[in-house]
């Protein structure tokens, strides 16, 4: 009996060592062993060449072996380089599972048999804990497999409304994946066109290393990313977008606050209006709405237009700082002013002894808010020396930076200190005129805050991108960093000066993200 079982295992043993990749050498033997067909038991490590999969003849075992072999062929050895402000680890892992499951299904593996038995319990636990992000990721990782149905069944047992939303999400993610494939079929990459199924899957699972350019030497540099993962990154952005708009649970109304008469619905808007008032009624009635399918579809269209999968994720160009010679002092912009005080050494304001109830006859130095102003001076923006001077006068004590990048070896600097501590440069430098370092420049500006509450203002039109990178993902990443750090944004320098003058006049800071970026930070 043992001999027969051994023969079956030898017959079904996968051969991961035969797979070839473009990003790393898959040479040498693999340690392949048997594992139970339960969640957590089968696994692979590409870098360590270890595989554990069930080796019996069942369709479930075939599906698991197919899934893990596709991982060997297309998945990166390390997902860390793909985790950013825009997409977290959970979304990346779920998106990569979705990509692998799709490829395995298209290759003919029986993915509908991929049900390990724990999915229903997992769905129940997610619904019990109210973890919407986990629900979206679990649904994404289950599409194109048989795991989806029991997962949603478990969710339905605890929260029927969430189960309906989960099914909608699954349907839209499947459509989104098909749209990705359709985009590959339509697009022409260089001299190649991937119109047939085999070519499309090859590109969808491509392991060609993504190249960028060293902005100092101008040479191509191989990165630790692979091109096929661009589609997982794109899917992860979609997952993050859906996770940012969860449906809220039905309102729970205490008996003493709202007694329902026979025939009235708990969530009837008119009833809520009578019992709780107009504003609260509108809020509670809105909580019972299901997830918006049209909103998901709109997000999908915007992401597909972002061309993440076409151009790659790219890399941000590191900051190369140049502090300009600050030779011109701007009177009134030193960073502090005099104010009245009840204590001091020299009574300079004796008239206040009669006019001021608090008898503030002494002088004291009052520091300004300072802050940091970062200005995008790429080709789509502009800046003059007078504008820099006006910024300093509007925000005494602030630091003014300008950022613009290029890959030319003749222009190694991409971030410039134009003003600081009441002084500005006599002449503006010649700016490179491109983008590529937007996020590193913002992070550097945040590091210069004089105090925790010091304002940071970023003047940009929102057209940001990594070096040889891709569109909408770069905007999302910059938007999230700016939003988390309370950065105020303006489209042009004159509006920025108006905002700074308002702060000096005592207006309360109200950080604002660019209108075109609002959708990136929806929560």
User: Mean per-residue pLDDT for 186-212?
Assistant: 78
Q: What whole-number distance in Å separates Cα of residue 421 and Cα of residue 241?
A: 42
Q: What is the C-alpha to C-alpha distance for residues 381 and 370, in angstroms, rounded to an integer?
A: 24
What's the rounded Cα separation, in Å, for the pair 38 and 289? Answer: 37
Average pLDDT over residues 404-417: 80
The mean pLDDT value for 23-52 works out to 88
Q: Could you tell me the CA-to-CA distances from 374 to 108, 361, 414, 457, 458 in Å, in that order?
A: 53, 39, 12, 6, 5
* Cβ 314 vs Cβ 472: under 8 Å: no
Asked if pLDDT for residue 518 goes beyond 90, the answer is no
Angle at 150 between CA 149 and CA 152, to 5 degrees: 70
Yes or no: say if 499 and 398 are a contact pair by the CB < 8 Å rule.
Answer: no
Most confident of 22-31, 328-337, 351-360: 22-31
DSSP state letter for 288: T
Q: Report if pTM > 0.85.
A: no
Question: Between 454 and 468, where is the model more confident?
Answer: 454
> How high is the pLDDT of residue 4?
67
pLDDT mean over 485-497: 94
pLDDT digits (tens, 9 = 90+) for 73-97: 999 999 998 998 889 999 999 999 9
220 strand-pairing partners:
213
Q: Which residue has the tokens 């929102």?
A: 462
Report pLDDT for 381. Answer: 74
228/469: higher pLDDT:
228
How far apart (Å, rounded) are the C-alpha atoms in residues 226 and 436? 20
Query: What residues are paired with 459 via a beta bridge?
Result: 375, 490
Is the pLDDT reported for residue 287 higher than 80? no
pLDDT at 108 over 80: yes
Residue 262's pLDDT is: 38
**Alpha carbon 203 to its chain's center:** 24
Per-range mean pLDDT, top range of 209-223, 265-279, 360-374, 504-518: 504-518
3-state SS class at 286: helix
Please give the pLDDT value at position 67.
Answer: 96
DSSP annotation of 415: E
What integer is the mean pLDDT of 404-424? 82
Q: pLDDT value at position 172?
A: 97
Residue 366, CB-side half-sphere exposure with 13 Å CA sphere: 10
Rounded mean pLDDT, 371-389: 87
Q: Is 261 helix (H, G, I), strand (E, B) or coil?
A: coil
In order of 100, 101, 113, 227, the CA distances from 105 in angstroms are 9, 6, 11, 21
* Cα torsion angle, 93, 96, 97, 98, sign: positive
Closest listed residue to residue 405, CA positions, set 428, 435, 379: 435
Closest by Cα among 97, 128, 127, 131 to 114: 97
Token representation of residue 369: 């808010």
Share of the chain above pLDDT 70, in %: 81
| C-alpha torsion 302→304→306→309, nearest 10 | 160
| 523, pLDDT greater than 60 | no
Of residues 245 and 164, more confidence is placed in 164
- Mean pLDDT highest for which of 308-317, 409-418, 453-462? 453-462
Give pLDDT tens digits for 212-269. 766 556 677 777 889 899 999 999 999 999 998 876 554 444 433 333 333 333 334 4
Q: How confident is the model at residue 194 (pLDDT cuts 50, 70, 90)?
A: low
CA atoms within 13 A on the CB side of 102: 28
pLDDT score recorded for residue 259: 39
Percent of the chain's residues with pLDDT above 90: 45
pLDDT, greater one: 145 or 474: 145
Is the Cβ–Cβ distance between 394 and 495 less than 8 Å? no
Q: Is residue 133 a contact partner of residue 141, using CB atoms and an 8 Å limit? A: no
Supply the pLDDT for residue 296: 92
Indicate the average pLDDT of the chain. 83
pLDDT of residue 351: 72
pLDDT of residue 339: 61
Model confidence pLDDT, tens digit, residues 62-72: 999 999 999 99
Average pLDDT over residues 397-418: 84
Query: Span 117-143, mean pLDDT?
Result: 95
Distance of alpha carbon 193 from its chain centroid, rounded?
Answer: 30
Whether 86 and 521 have beta carbons less than 8 Å apart is answered as no
Q: Is the pLDDT of residue 340 over 80?
A: no
Give yes or no for residue 517 having a pLDDT over 80.
yes
pLDDT of 465 strictly over 90: no
List, for residues 346-358, the tens digit of each pLDDT value.
Answer: 776 777 766 777 7
154 or 471, which is more confident: 154
CA 299, CA 224: separation in Å to the nearest integer?
28
Question: Do 23 and 73 meet the contact criterion of CB atoms below 8 Å apart?
Answer: no
Which is more confidently placed, 336 or 493?
A: 493
Task: Give the per-residue pLDDT at 486.
Answer: 94
- What is the structure's pLDDT at 368? 56
Q: What angle do CA 108, 114, 118 make, to 5 degrees?
A: 170
* Whole-number Å distance between alpha carbons of 400 and 420: 6
> If you average pLDDT over residues 315-341, what whole number do you get?
75
How confident is the model at residue 253, as a pLDDT?
40
Q: Which contacts of 336-344 are long-range, i.e. CB under 8 A and separated by 24 or more positions?
A: 336/365, 336/366, 336/367, 336/368, 336/396, 336/397, 337/365, 337/366, 337/368, 337/396, 338/363, 338/364, 338/365, 338/366, 339/363, 339/364, 339/365, 339/366, 340/364
User: What whole-number distance in Å separates Cα of residue 48 and Cα of residue 182?
Assistant: 35
Helix spans in 369-492 (H): 385-394, 438-447, 471-484
* Two structure tokens written together for 386: 């007078």
Tell me what pLDDT residue 248 has. 56
The mean per-residue pLDDT over the stretch 372-393 comes to 86
pLDDT of 271 higher than 50? no
* Amino acid 266: pLDDT: 37
How many C-beta atoms surround the C-beta of residue 488 within 10 A? 21
Distance CA(382)–CA(386), nearest Å, equals 12
Q: SS in 3 state form for 80-142? A: HHHCCCCCCHHHHHHHHHHHHHHHHHHCCCCHHHCCCCCHHHHHHHHHHHCCHHHHHHHHHHH
């Amino acid at each position: 009996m043992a001999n027969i079982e051994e023969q079956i295992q030898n017959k079904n043993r996968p051969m991961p060592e035969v797979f070839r990749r473009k990003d790393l050498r898959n040479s040498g033997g693999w340690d392949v062993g048997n594992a139970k067909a339960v969640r957590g038991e089968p696994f692979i490590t590409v870098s360590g060449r270890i595989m554990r999969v069930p080796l019996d003849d069942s369709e479930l075992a075939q599906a698991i072996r197919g899934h893990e072999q596709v991982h060997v062929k297309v998945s990166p050895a390390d997902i860390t380089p793909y985790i950013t402000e825009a997409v977290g680890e959970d979304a990346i892992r779920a998106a990569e599972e979705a990509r692998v499951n799709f490829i395995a299904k298209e290759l003919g593996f029986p993915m509908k048999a991929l049900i390990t038995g724990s999915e229903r319990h997992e769905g129940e636990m997610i619904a019990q804990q109210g973890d919407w992000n986990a629900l979206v990721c679990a649904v994404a990782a289950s599409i194109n497999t048989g795991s989806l149905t029991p997962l949603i069944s478990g969710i339905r047992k605890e929260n029927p409304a969430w189960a309906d939303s989960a099914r909608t999400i699954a349907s839209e993610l499947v459509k989104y994946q098909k749209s990705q494939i359709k985009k590959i079929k339509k697009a022409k990459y260089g001299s190649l066109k991937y119109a047939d199924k085999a070519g499309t899957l090859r590109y969808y699972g491509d392991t060609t290393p993504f190249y960028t350019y060293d902005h100092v030497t101008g040479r191509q540099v191989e990165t630790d990313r692979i091109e096929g993962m661009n589609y997982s990154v794109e899917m992860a952005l979609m997952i993050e977008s859906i996770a940012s708009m969860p449906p809220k649970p039905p309102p729970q109304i205490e008996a003493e606050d709202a007694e329902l008469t026979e025939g009235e619905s708990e969530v009837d808007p008119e009833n809520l209006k009578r019992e709780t008032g107009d504003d609260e009624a509108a809020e509670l009635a809105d909580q019972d709405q299901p997830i918006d399918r049209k909103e998901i579809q709109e997000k999908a269209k915007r992401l597909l237009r972002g061309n993440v999968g076409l151009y790659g994720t790219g890399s941000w160009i590191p900051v190369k700082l140049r502090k300009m010679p600050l030779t011109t002092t701007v009177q009134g912009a030193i960073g502090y002013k005099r104010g009245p005080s009840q204590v001091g050494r020299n009574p300079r304001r004796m008239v206040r002894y009669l006019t001021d109830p608090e008898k503030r006859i002494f002088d004291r130095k009052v520091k300004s808010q300072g802050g940091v102003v970062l200005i995008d001076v790429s080709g789509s923006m502009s800046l003059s020396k007078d504008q820099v001077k006006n910024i300093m006068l509007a925000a005494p004590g602030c630091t003014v930076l300008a950022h613009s990048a290029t890959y030319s070896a003749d222009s190694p600097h991409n971030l410039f200190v134009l003003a600081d501590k009441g002084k500005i440069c006599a002449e503006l430098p010649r700016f490179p005129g491109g983008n590529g370092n937007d996020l590193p420049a913002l992070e550097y500006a945040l590091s210069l805050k004089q105090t925790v509450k010091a304002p940071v203002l970023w003047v940009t039109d929102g057209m940001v991108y990594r070096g040889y990178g891709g569109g909408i993902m770069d905007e999302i990443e910059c938007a999230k960093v700016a939003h988390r750090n309370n950065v105020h944004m303006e489209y042009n320098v004159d509006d920025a000066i108006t905002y700074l003058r308002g702060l000096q006049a005592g207006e309360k800071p109200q950080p604002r993200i660019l209108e075109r970026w609002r959708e990136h930070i929806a929560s």
